[in-house]
Structure 1
Amino acid sequence: MHDLSQQVQTLPAGLAQAAGTAWDAVLENAESHERAPLEALAADARRGPQLARMLACSQYVAALLRRRPGLLLRAAHSGDLDASLPEGSWLQRLGADLAEPAADLAVTLRRFRQYHMLRILWRDFNRLADTLETVRDTSLLAEACVHHALQVCEAQLVERFGRPIGRRSGERQPLIVIAMGKLGARELNVSSDIDLIFAFPEAGQTDGERRPLSNEEFFTRLGRALINTLDTVTADGFVFRVDMRLRPYGESGALVHNFAALEAYYQEQGRDWERYALVKARPITGGAGHSAALMRMLRPFVFRRYVDFGVIDSLRGMKRMLVAEVARRGLDDNVKLGSGGIREIEFIAQCLQLIRGGRDRALQQRELLQVLPSCAELGCLPADVVEELRQAYCFLRDTEHAIQGYADRQTQELPDDALGRAALAEVMAYPDWESFSAALAGHRQRVAAHFNDLIAAPEDAEAEPALAPWNALDASVLSRLGYAEAEDALERLADLRDVTRLRGLQRESRERLEQFMPLLLEACAGVGQPDLALQRILPLVRAVLRRSAYLMLLMENPPALAELVALCEASPWVAELLAAQPVLLDELLDRSSLYSAPDRERLQEELRRQVDRLPLTDLEAQMDALRYFKAAHVLRVAASERLGRLPLMKVSDKLTFIAEVVLEQVLRVAWAQLVSRYGEPARDGEDSGFVIYSYGKLGGIELSYASDLDLVFIYDADASGVTSGERSIDNSVFYTRLGQKVIHILETRMPLGKLYEIDMRLRPSGASGLLVSTLKAFAAYQRDTAWTWEHQALVRARSVAGDRRVAEALDEVRRDILCQPRDAATLAGEVVAMREKMREHLLPTSLGEDRFELKQSPGGIVDIEFMVQYAVLAWSHQMPGLTRWSDNIRILESLGEQGLFSQSVCDALIKAYIAFRSASHQLALQQAKGIVAAADYRQHIDTVQAQWQTVFGGVTALSSSDENK
């Protein structure tokens, strides 16, 4: 066997004989000058066993080398069998082959495919390449063939009819070849057809003088020419089989469509299976600009804006069809279509992409092995399930390649002959068919179990609803359920059924409403106040009538419906939040995350995961992601507080952490936006030189649910410096625009509302001052110009985002200002004057003696804050440690430790402060004013007033003319 006999000894007998016979045929057909190098290659200790395996396990390769023995020498001597090819080399190599003077398009394409199929199968069968390289290389091979075939065919048509020109733009129009399915995801198998759709941007006609054609006719001819070039079987075989059935209207539809026609079709007639098919769509010709425009147009059809539970019925129907097809066609031996096969893994991933991809951009990827980890990161699938699916997918794809590479046939059927089975086991590195078959069965069983769990019908789907149709209910039925005001409830339901409200709804939406309402009424009956729960939830129902996918979400997930009812019964604030932002209903699906508010590090990690795949320059996407992130986590905090899992201090901590993490990302996005336009400002260090400095509740780590943010923007760079970009601007202009961009991102109203309301009035010189200050100017203002009340505000100030170096410098400025020696009597007079002014303007005049306004009433929150601020300003020059903290609780603890207030007084003030703010939080969730019965808080009020007398008793408030700066 000419030096191959020793190489086949490790193969099973049947495969060894097949390899030997094939090798004899190769040598017999080789040119005389080829035989010696071929024999040397077979004798090589490394190449020989690889060659033996290929000849034994691939009849296709054996036949190819029998016809073209020199192909093996070319591949071996070029080094291509040993290396992964870079992405750009495919187009370059095929282009060079076609540039040869005698090159024929059809022959060159087919021989290019033969060479690279030899290389791909060699590396795959000998495990020199992993699964990902094999599918990537096969896809790049197809893309190169499509690209160059299109170029040649188009040039021939242009010569006859001229160039296609857009009627509107007047620009030359390209044919956009959209790769679908596995080619779109660069997951092509080694004997796959390619699914394509053809599109072009604009209607118009060619600019040929003799025979102009409409653009549609030109591109139809071009599409047919491309298909014939690739698909026709010649003496050298075919290039790739082409399947066009995924285009609009299928085989009966036009071969090509312009962008407007595609958009109209998918908007008006697109079906869910087409959304499923388009998940992997990718333009592979036509230029980056047109391709990006096409994908922007298709994305809203494929990925609904938010979580899309409305698609579940369709997916469930698809799943039933898949199961039925397996049973009907007897596909047990098919590793793609059979139970537990490749298609089921793809279905699991693409279902989650359709349902959640609109909100979670990480799922808007084409490659399955990138989508699966994202499913684990986002909590769509457990990490162990994802790992099982990943392992199964790679195993099944390797099996598929071994089956198809055996005879270059598009099949996924397991072989039933002994030689085919031995070849498959050998490629898959198993000693025999039985051991391979057992491993395959294990993977398929695990996949099938996960597939069966996916979008399973609700457990009680077969049960009859306990309630009659909601439009047939009467007061007695609701009374028996526990509704105390049944007649009022019926009136609210009648209002929801109002004909004018329902008339414009699609039939599907009306049907879902009919199914949902009995479930809602029963769920409300399960809480303590059914009437209140129903009253608060109905605005949400009205808000989603035209987006009934949200009703499906709740019908599919009874625990989520129960959580919704419980939360809305407890808090009208939560009910309004959900009515305004129904997308947050998705948060109810996972009770463990709903009732766990992450710490700062986890928040940073989660936000980073959500925005990492979004370009920093995609402002709208970043703003949407930030708004969802903030709203979802505030909801989690509120839910946790409702269950009593978070005490007041932790609630404020969590809300503060959310704001800080959001501000960090806002600054990052704003910076990227400005730098992309103007370049970076000249400054010391590599960081931004910019800090967001916060006062008030955020500065004091005491944020509440509806708090605005008191911010000041500071930068440390030469104001006369300039940015590095072509459109250079002064540093001062850059940082001013950076501050404006931060405010824009925070305050712009979008479908998910604003991020935060911003108050900039505490900046130097207030509303009349510059939006952004230099560090030097800020320090000078605080030292020379600021009023005492501004120094009071500085007690609760700190850096919350930005350059750490500048933040440290600001900390030093704050410490220096707060530690200035002050006349205690004068300071006390100014503080008391400001307190009286606030009470005069902010305390309700109609408040009776038995009512207590938590913030402004004597003995309330602000009195505690003012005593703390006075203490810091009066005594920090002696005890600088008082400036360490910006929150009232820890400052009070420091005052007790230093003996400035008695420890018992500090403990009592802390208890009062926590009690007042806890009540304030609870009232905010109930959307009630911060007014309580004075008797309920008498002890705390008396404690605060007594200490106020101790600190300020006998102090005369200074008039405004007496106040010192």
Structure 2
Amino acid sequence: MAGDEEGAVEAVPRIQTTAGRLARLGFADGTRAERLLDGLGPEAAGDLGLLDSLVATADPDLALTSLDRLAERDPGVLAELRGDAGLRAGLLGVLGVSAALGEHVVRHPEHRRLLTGGRAAVRPPAAELRAELLLAVGAEPGDPEPRAAGADAAVLSALRVAYRGRLLHLAARDLTGKAGLAEVTAELSDLAGAALEAGLAVARAEHPECDAVRLAVIGMGKCGARELNYISDVDVIFVAEPRERDGGTADETEAVRLATRLAQAMMRACSATTPEGSLWEVDAALRPEGRAGPLVRTLASHRAYYRRWAKTWEFQALLKARPVAGDAELGGRYADMVDEMVWQAAAREGFVEDVQAMRRRVEAHVRVEEAERQIKLGPGGLRDIEFAVQLLQLVHGRSDPLLRRRATLSALAALSRGGYVGRDDARALAEAYTFLRRVEHLLQLHRLRRTHVVPESEDDLRRLGRALGMAVDPVGAFTTRWRQHANQARRLHEKLFYRPLLAAVARLPESEARLSTAAAHARLEALGYTDPAGALRHLTALTSGVSRRAAIQRTLLPVMLGWFADTPDPDAGLLGFRQVSDRLGTTPWYLRLLRDETVVAERLARLLGTSRYATGLLLHAPEAVAMLASDGGLDPRPATALLSEARATVGRHPGEAETAVARVRGLRRRELFRTAVADLDGHIGVEQVGQALSALNDVTIAAALDAAVGKVETERRGPLGTRFTVIAMGRLGGLECSYGSDADVMFVHDPLPGTAEKDAADAAQAVAGELRRLLALPAPDPPLLIDPDLRPEGKAGPLVRTLASYAAYYGRWSAPWESQALLRARHCAGDAALGEEFLALADPLRYPAGGVPDAAVLEIRRLKARMEAERLPRGADPALHTKLGRGGLSDVEWVAQLLQLRHAGDLPSLRTTRTLQALRAAVAEGLLAAEDGAVLAEAWCLASRVRDAIVLVRGRAADSIPGDVRERTLLSRALGYPPEASEDFVDDYRRATRRARRVVERVFYET
């Protein structure tokens, strides 16, 4: 063991993992850090990138401690961190600030997946958060009043787990600078609203008798303003109305009683302590009469109270009021009602003086020992800025509707634009507010506790300073900057908040308010668009103006919006439609085709809202929309026709290999789109998809080979002097390619008479290299990567061999796995006669007379068992991995191939490169029971369909069924399941592969 460690140190001499070295790098306890790094293993200890990332965190010791615990729970995280810089930055950034979120990731290591891939840096729409938290409690997001699966501890724990997973996702973006303060606070508010909605769903399940009442939850304070903290009480007000039933209305008293029961249950669902902790307290103290008043009132009761009894501070609080959960229509009526009153409140007698007195009372209640360190309530704290901004808004907002904003920074910017606050003062206040809020967030993230007091500990201050980017003297730099902002904020607060003119302005006559409607926004939201505002922008861009193009779009879009809404991802569908329209909108036939051919518009909508892969293809070949007009346009084109077109394309660009292959790849892009549409439309089955993709890859390789040969001959100023052929292997050889498959091949050449063997070898090597280079050039189409690793000796062997060399190798060195690999061998490009000669050479190995010996069978079984144990990715669910999982593609293919190796020498019907054909032949020959053959074929087809669908939906290849509920739903929808049946899809897959695995264990390992 010691020798291994010494070797690791020698391999990376730059890293001196001694306690002193680590202490100098930033670890407070170098000895402990050295021990933890060594415990992670030599690869982690020698990983410069990992060490640099740890050192860059706010608290390297804290980050390393949490990472050590996480790696102990799930060792696969270390490899993921090495391979994914984004995950490394995001996860370690969180672990270096938040011990609480570190604890959460250790308990739920799967949540680190939220920090990988393209969506890791993307803010989720509010509707997505709502849907995710509703699903966590077993409620259906699409219901107008969703009801949870129950109200037990398991349901409440699931809500907390889902909530903190999203908190982790947000904190990672926040701490790595991918999300600014406004985005962070808005998302926290959206997340709180989603949790309240989920809590309400739990309450409805607990009290089904409350269906007779409508309940709206109004967010107040920072939640209402969409500027919430990481940990804060969530201020709410409850509004209820009896529900009209059968032409009558329930009694108001009974409705309030039932609504109170519902509200109390919702509050418990959010604040109750579970094994996963609690969320936060739901505070309803801002309601009329405060804690002494009823928890729930009707809209009429609220109106009566505010008109007659409300105090000034209550109108100041109502400035932030916003419906966040429950009955949206009722909440909207409440918001409209209080909005009218809020902007009249400044005209009340003594309004300004009351607000100023309220601020003094708040200051007086701050504990003396904390006052100087209180960033919220202390002098120069957040409340100083908020009170100043709110008072200016309330006074001037009566006559200036542009000031009527809930969020502090947005309102401050409007005050500056309107001249109510000087630009320099506004800028200073905004900078102070932003800094103080960031400090507040860092304080709360550490333990996920509600706090606003700057700590005195030097370690805590260092963590704050480093998290804010202060690398040099973080304690001193942080303290200096904090005091500067606090002093500036206090000075400007006193300047603005106590302006003598404010009271006079408040007594001026008020102007009329301007109202706006959100009808279009609400309709899009009701249709299922998660980003209605974004959808509205797309609609505006498509329909604005008086052109004919805009007129047709106005005719099309009302119908297409409904079609998009019926797809898995309406927002992506509408975005894709706008992008395609932008590219083709000036083309006369495009919109006319959509208007006059309903099938094209409907297919296009379904395609764009289902498949990122197909959408990406279409954006680079928008003219392919025309092939949607008929089923015949989706038929895969014959390989001969494609090859003729591709070779003609190469012929038009003599001496321009790169240009020629780029054109061929454009042809491939168009045909990939045709296949994807036919696949999603159910026009072709999984076998036809594999054949079409494989034939297209054959054509692409053959055309690129022509270009490569031409270029090499030009450079050599003469013919190659050797015959050259490409042998397809793997899924390409089996005509079973998926959308994300590489092209497994072997290169063979045979020198022509009179050509020196070295010259021939050099020419063949140049052709193979040029072919791979041409197909790997950057392009907008999905890549076709040439993988030659199945050749003799693998990566260590020569890229190209002569036919004689292959014969010598296979005659002396061939292993059983190579005979198995040759079962897929098929000529796909180049010299056809040479290809046939190679296959004739391979036949005795793959179809041995009398079958392979028992020792080879045993070796193949051992190899399969080892592959199952070693090749499945860490963390992958063996039941949901389509390729290497139990009952998946590999299982079925190895059964078919073992039957071929044992019997194809005597039974020619088994001599095929295709899995399903081999299974059918085995059944026909009596080698496999018909029922077993059907079970294996079903599992293979389903796994292939799922693997293809993953690429179509996500736009990139993956082998595992996703664990994310939303992604799984998108996938199941693409496979034809209804929206609510994503778990049915998973159950079907598990059932099919479980049955297949039983057959595999019996047929492959026992017979």
The answer to whether TM tops 0.5 is no
TM-score (norm 1): 0.45
Task: Compute the TM-score of the two structures, normalised by the length of structure 2.
Answer: 0.43
